Amino acid sequence: MTETFQQILEKDQLSKEDIIRLLQSAKEDEKALFAKSSDVKLKHIGQNVHFRGLIEFSNICKKDCLYCGIRASNGKVNRYDIADEQILKAANFAYQHKYGSLVLQSGERTDPVFVDRIENLLHEIKKLSNNELGITISLGEQKRETYQKWFDAGAHRYLLRIESSNAELYEKIHPKNQNHSHSTRLKCLQYLKQIGYQTGTGVMIGLPFQTYEDLANDILFMKGFDIDMVGMGPFIEHDQTPLYQYKDQLMSLSDRFRLSLKMIAVLRIVMKDINIAAATALQAIDPLGREKALRIGANIIMPNITPTLERANYLLYQNKPCIDEGAEDCTNCMEARINMADGKIAYGEWGDSQHFKKRVK
């Protein structure tokens, strides 16, 4: 006899088939899934929501990912690189407003000037915040020595999305050259973990050619890799990228949104104590997208504190929210929204992954 949806939800271990069933749940079953994931979150994480002030400091990128609006081959992008002084000002804003942590993100560069500059910035951020700000970086694939250098300079979390755990699908969404290889990405994730970073990954949801089985495998990959943090969200097509040609084969945006929420819910049930971010891309589809994610399982939010002038140029996907607001507006807006989602902002704390703490004990 086949199990009921509720019976699957009550299992201790979910198989790939169970996960597929949960991801394919009909509208009437979604409620039960979200109630369960919300319970798991409250039990293992509590109501606390931690901030990561996000500084997208440069859109210069040497990579050419076929989905991304700031890929090197997109000649229509105004390239920018925010001066160190401005980055430090934004970091100071996060410190003064008790955000607890920040994320430095940019396009991928591996040249020595860049590597040294990041090292210096990390030292400066630690200094200006009396060692109090936690720092996550998300700067793509690097040499092991580079990851080590940045770790030694004070970064303690790293976000590198696997994009898809299916190597064949990964190849379809990246150019066919050595610069874009699934095995390198995996190796980088291993380096990060070995060095001692709290290691974060994630995938895009609703990619062309992606199946429910791929997504179930993504969740099992995160579990198998014993990841500490996850940021995942819907794929949103960008008309200046090669993947745009498949736009008619994609799920509707609202279906991608629902599926992203289900991915977060299932992941929360499978990995009870990791940090899960409510991705900004959710908000590009639904104005309350991130708050909905917090309610059903996410516990991290990344308010954008990039100096306003450059926000409109960091468009990985279209319809990106909050590109006109300043950081001050974001804080106020965020507080109201999180209260609405029954969350409590934990100001001034790092909000490390509890999973990581147990893993390295």
Q: What is the contact surface with ligand SF4 in residues (CB under 6 A)?
A: 61, 63, 65, 68, 70-71, 107-108, 140, 316
Write down the least CB distance from residue 274 to ligand SAH, Å: 18
Segment 138 to 177, residues that bind ligand SAH, using CB under 6 A: 138, 140, 160-161, 163
Which region among 21-29, 103-111, 171-179, 350-358 touches ligand SAH (by CB under 6 A)? 103-111
Task: Report what 317 binds from ligand SAH, ligand SF4, none; CB cut-off 5-8 Å by kind.
Answer: ligand SAH
CB of 313 closer than 8 Å to CB of 78: yes
First and final C-alpha spacing in the chain: 43
Segment 231 to 250, residues that bind ligand SAH, using CB under 6 A: 235-236, 238
CB of 14 closer than 8 Å to CB of 262: no
Task: Report what 71 binds from ligand SAH, ligand SF4, none; CB cut-off 5-8 Å by kind.
Answer: ligand SF4
Q: Phi and psi of 201, rounded to 5°?
A: -140, -170
Task: Report what 314 binds from ligand SF4, ligand SAH, none; CB cut-off 5-8 Å by kind.
Answer: none
Cβ within 8 Å of residue 169, ≥6 positions away: 207, 209, 210, 214
Write down the least CB distance from residue 4 to ligand SAH, Å: 34
Nearer to ligand SAH among residue 18 and residue 237 (C-beta): 237
Residue 274 binds to ligand SAH (criterion: CB under 6 A): no
Residue 192 binds to ligand SAH (criterion: CB under 6 A): no
In angstroms, the CA 128 to CA 133 distance is 9
Nearer to ligand SF4 among residue 68 and residue 137 (C-beta): 68
Helix H segments across the chain?
Answer: 5-9, 16-23, 27-44, 84-96, 112-128, 144-152, 167-172, 182-195, 212-225, 253-270, 280-285, 289-296, 308-311, 327-340, 354-359
Residue 115 binds to ligand SAH (criterion: CB under 6 A): no
Residue 108 binds to ligand SAH (criterion: CB under 6 A): yes
Residue 303 binds to ligand SAH (criterion: CB under 6 A): no
Contacts with ligand SAH, 23-62, as mask; x by CB under 6 A: --------------------------------------x-
Residue 317 binds to ligand SAH (criterion: CB under 6 A): yes
In angstroms, the CA 301 to CA 299 distance is 7
In angstroms, the CA 31 to CA 44 distance is 20
The tokens for 96 are 């003064």
